[in-house]
Amino acid sequence: MYRLLALPLLLCSLTSLALGAEDRTRINEALQRAGKNRPQIERALKECAEDQRAGMQFLVTYMPQRDLQTLSARFLLDNVALSYQTWRKSAWGQRIPRDIFFNYVLPYCSINERRDNWRKDFHARFRERVEGAQTASQATAILNRTIFGEFNVRFSTKRPKADQSPYETISAGMASCTGLSVLLIDACRAVGIPARFVGTPRWSDNSGNHSWVEIWDQGWHFTGAAEPAGEHLDRAWFTGRAATAQRDQRLHAIYAVSYKQTPLSFPLIWDPAIDYVYAVNVSDRYTQKSKQLPVGMIRVAFRLVDDQTSQRLAADFTLRGVSGKPVFKGTTKDERFDPNDHLTFPLKQGESYDVELNWSGHRLSKRIRATKEGVVYTFQRRDLQPTPKTP
């Protein structure tokens, strides 16, 4: 009887978040999956500060079942409180959108590693070290140059296992690229830098796998863990190999981990059975980095969005010049891909083009003008019309 009464009371306490029916359903499902650990998850939701409750709700909603059944309320409350503190106090915190903070600062894990309580320790260790940094990129470069020497950690294929937690790596004094990446991600998150695990299960030449780190600073930037490039990001030994990634080949694509559930799971080669580490496909960002545009050409992007769910849709896309000649064909990207990763094509600046989208028996035609670099043309599902049937 208590459980039947407790859930409505708990959800009522979250009304300040204006939870929709779907959100309440997700929380209910998470609590049910928590099993005997349900009182701990309920306590975390109830006792978190009012201005942090949205973050706690996010963590619980997308929490892997293994964590729902084992993590304590104190572990979650401390992690959330310190995450919000760093978000509000860091020099770059005001430039971090809420959805980026939720998905890439709040989470206590990167992949399937052991769940260590690292945030308070790492915050105390590294907060002062990055105080002089004005951007998340500068702070990341500082951390990448210093923490591995401080912990006396190095890369080694003799590491105990691939998916080491940060304290397992520190204890061993060695790690694979996977363990090194997890350690750097946690150090970044501890000081309020959005960071995520990125990698490919297998290079396109079948020479092995690799993992690295991306951090968010007005967009995503990559760096190799324990492989600093001075004060710079977006420089690494593997950029040439990454440029040959094959987006549509599961084992040869490049993925970035997302705590929030997506249609894709990260292919963990050390444990292929795991399907709760979600991911987005970021291959195109790496394959396009090697391409320099001619003068007068700009990159523009296109997406189709379902106005009811705000989710992107995969639609057949054709772009024609005003003469009617096709200049590009492709498929718009859906939720399997990073939210900032769209169908992109170089166009001549100032020229007009005709867009045609076909999705699920509906179509849309519209003329656009290529005005400036980086513009994302967004089309709404509601504007599509039924495709005329041919006689």
pLDDT digits (tens, 9 = 90+) for 232-242: 999 998 988 89
Residue 1: predicted pLDDT? 39
Q: pLDDT confidence of 390, banded at 50, 70, 90?
A: confident
Asked whether the CA dihedral 197, 333, 301, 241 is positive or negative, the reply is: positive
Q: What domains are defined for the chain?
A: 1-89 (no CATH), 97-291 (3.10.620), 297-386 (2.60.40.10)
Q: How many CB atoms lie within 10 A of CB 366?
A: 12
Which distant-in-sequence residues (6+ apart) come within 8 Å of 251 by Cβ? 201, 202, 267
Q: Is the pLDDT of residue 2 over 70?
A: no
Q: Is the pLDDT of residue 120 over 60?
A: yes
Residue 13: predicted pLDDT? 47
Q: Is the pLDDT of residue 365 over 90?
A: yes
Residues in the chain, overall count: 391
Residue 83, CA distances (Å) to 14, 77, 243, 286 in order: 20, 10, 34, 30
Predicted model pTM? 0.82
Q: How much is the average pLDDT of 371-377?
A: 91
Residue 248: phi and psi, rounded to 5, are: -95, 5
Residue 10: predicted pLDDT? 52
Spatial distance between the Cα atoms of 383 and 307, rounded to a whole number of angstroms? 10
Q: pLDDT confidence of 19, banded at 50, 70, 90?
A: low
Residue 292: predicted pLDDT? 74
Quote the mean pLDDT of the chain: 92
Q: Is the pLDDT of residue 343 over 50?
A: yes
Residue 326: predicted pLDDT? 95
User: pLDDT per residue over 276-322, tens digit each?
Assistant: 999 999 999 999 775 678 999 998 999 999 999 999 999 999 999 99
Spatial distance between the Cα atoms of 104 and 126, rounded to a whole number of angstroms? 18
Q: How much is the average pLDDT of 136-150?
A: 98
Query: Contact 357/338 with Cβ under 8 angstroms?
Result: no
Q: pLDDT confidence of 24, banded at 50, 70, 90?
A: confident
For residue 30, give the H/E element and its range.
helix 21-33
Q: Is the pLDDT of residue 140 over 60?
A: yes
Spatial distance between the Cα atoms of 221 and 325, rounded to a whole number of angstroms? 37
Which distant-in-sequence residues (6+ apart) come within 8 Å of 8 by Cβ? none
